[in-house]
């Protein structure tokens, strides 16, 4: 992965000098679609497990910090962008890896059941009475994007435990996911999803002229399977996106944000919009694939790109 090399201990790097476990999880989920990359996936998972905090600075068990990387040395920043999304995407990675059907992959996922339960506990410990999670204990905002990922992570962890015979834990995490689903449904504002819910339970409507995080957040419910593509809310917000950003398939959003945002293309293909998805894919090929994947293509974008290709070829789920 150009600009996204793998360190000697298995860490998937963000650029060349950072380890952001959230981005690395997204990269590894994409790599589960490539049997030749299973070793890379497992080595990343082993890195993540080896770097769990017991506990972290908040008193939470099972979180991970960001790290600086230089000359083979990793230095913890003793901070992370979020506690919910980091945990959630690793849980989804575990299920994606298990779903490959590879015996070694399944045995490995079974072997880390205790740690997966602890990582699931990160979400449980920050889940509030409305079913939603704070971004992290000292940043009490309930983001739509984070909570969609957390919902997916909880549901995926329940599937891991169901597949490995622990029905009690499967039931427990499905119940937590059900509660989060109720909270997410409460973020619907009539014609759009709230970008976040604050500590006073106020909902923030999206400014669709702002690409990130407002416009991009709107595709997360369908992207994470919170609601199906056929749901009227999915149709509404996808139409809103196309109205506000008619040029997004040709990356008009680059005027505001330099990254490729491949996940929006993934959402388009889920929505059955083959025309825009095809145009977008052609742009990715021209700007990144044919140029050797220059920056701003990085590990998380690579993961979404692999998922988009796999989904277009019939792989389910995303």
What does the DSSP 8-state code read for residue 293?
A: S
Range of the domain at 238: 18-312
Integer CA distances (angstroms), 18 to 36, 74, 288, in order: 25, 9, 21
Structure tokens at 68: 């600086």
pLDDT tens per residue, range 196-211: 999 999 999 999 999 9
Residue 317 counted as domain residue? no
Residue whose pair of structure tokens reads 């739509």 in the numeric block: 144
Residue 154 contacts residue 176 (beta carbons within 8 Å): yes
User: Which helix (H) or strand (E) element contains residue 173?
Assistant: helix 167-185
Residue 177 counted as domain residue? yes
Integer CA distances (angstroms), 196 to 86, 104, 188, 192, in order: 18, 40, 11, 12
Q: What are phi and psi of 70, to 5 degrees?
A: -155, 125
The shares of helix, strand and coil residues in the chain, as percent rounded to the nearest 5, are 55, 10, 35
Nearest to 285 by CA among 42, 253, 277: 277
Q: What are phi and psi of 193, to 5 degrees?
A: -90, 140
Label residue 128 left, alpha or beta by phi (over 0 means left) and psi (-120 to 50 means alpha).
beta
What does the DSSP 8-state code read for residue 191?
A: S
Residue 318 counted as domain residue? no
The domain that holds 164 is classified in CATH as 1.50.10.10
pLDDT tens per residue, range 257-286: 999 999 999 999 999 999 999 999 999 999
Angle (CA) 269-271-275 rounded to 5° is 55
This prediction's pTM: 0.97
What is the total count of domains within the chain?
1
Residue 8 counted as domain residue? no
10-residue averages of pLDDT along the chain (318 residues): 72 96 98 97 98 97 98 96 98 98 98 98 97 96 98 98 98 98 98 97 98 98 98 98 98 98 97 97 97 97 95 82
Residue 38 counted as domain residue? yes
Q: What's the Rg (C-alpha) of the chain? A: 19
Residue 3 counted as domain residue? no
CA pair distance 306, 28, nearest whole angstrom = 10
Residue 12 counted as domain residue? no
pLDDT of residue 1: 44
Q: 213 preceded by cis ω (within 30°)?
A: yes
CA pair distance 288, 312, nearest whole angstrom = 19
| Helix ranges (DSSP H) in 62-166 | 84-99, 103-111, 113-126, 144-163
Q: Which three-class secondary structure state does DSSP give residue 76?
A: strand
Residue 13 counted as domain residue? no
């Amino acid at each position: 992965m150009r600009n996204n090399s793998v360190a000697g201990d298995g860490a998937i790097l963000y650029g060349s000098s950072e380890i952001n476990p959230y981005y690395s999880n997204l990269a590894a989920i994409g790599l589960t679609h490539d049997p030749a990359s299973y070793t890379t996936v497992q080595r990343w998972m082993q890195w993540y497990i080896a770097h769990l905090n017991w506990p972290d600075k908040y008193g939470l068990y099972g979180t991970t910090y960001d790290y600086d990387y230089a000359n083979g040395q990793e230095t913890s920043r003793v901070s992370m962008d979020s506690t919910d999304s980091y945990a959630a995407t690793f849980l989804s990675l575990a299920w994606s890896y298990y779903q490959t059907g590879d015996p070694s992959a399944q045995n490995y996922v079974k072997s880390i059941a205790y740690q997966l339960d602890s990582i699931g506990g990160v979400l449980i410990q920050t889940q509030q009475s409305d079913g939603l999670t704070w971004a992290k204990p000292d940043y009490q905002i309930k983001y739509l994007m984070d909570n969609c990922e957390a919902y997916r992570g909880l549901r995926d962890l329940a599937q891991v435990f169901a597949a490995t015979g622990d029905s009690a834990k499967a039931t427990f995490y499905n119940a937590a996911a059900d509660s989060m689903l109720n909270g997410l449904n409460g973020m619907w504002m009539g014609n759009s999803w709230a970008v976040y819910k604050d500590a006073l339970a106020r909902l923030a409507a999206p400014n669709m002229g702002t690409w990130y995080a407002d416009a991009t957040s709107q595709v997360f419910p369908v992207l994470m399977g919170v609601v199906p593509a056929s749901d009227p809310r999915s149709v509404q917000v996808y139409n809103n996106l196309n109205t506000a950003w008619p040029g997004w398939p040709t990356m008009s959003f680059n005027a505001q944000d330099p990254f490729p945002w491949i996940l929006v293309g993934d959402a388009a293909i889920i929505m059955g919009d083959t025309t825009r998805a095809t145009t977008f894919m052609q742009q990715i090929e021209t700007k990144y694939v044919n140029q050797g994947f220059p920056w701003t293509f990085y590990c998380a974008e690579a993961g979404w790109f692999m998922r988009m290709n796999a989904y277009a070829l019939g792989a389910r789920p995303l």
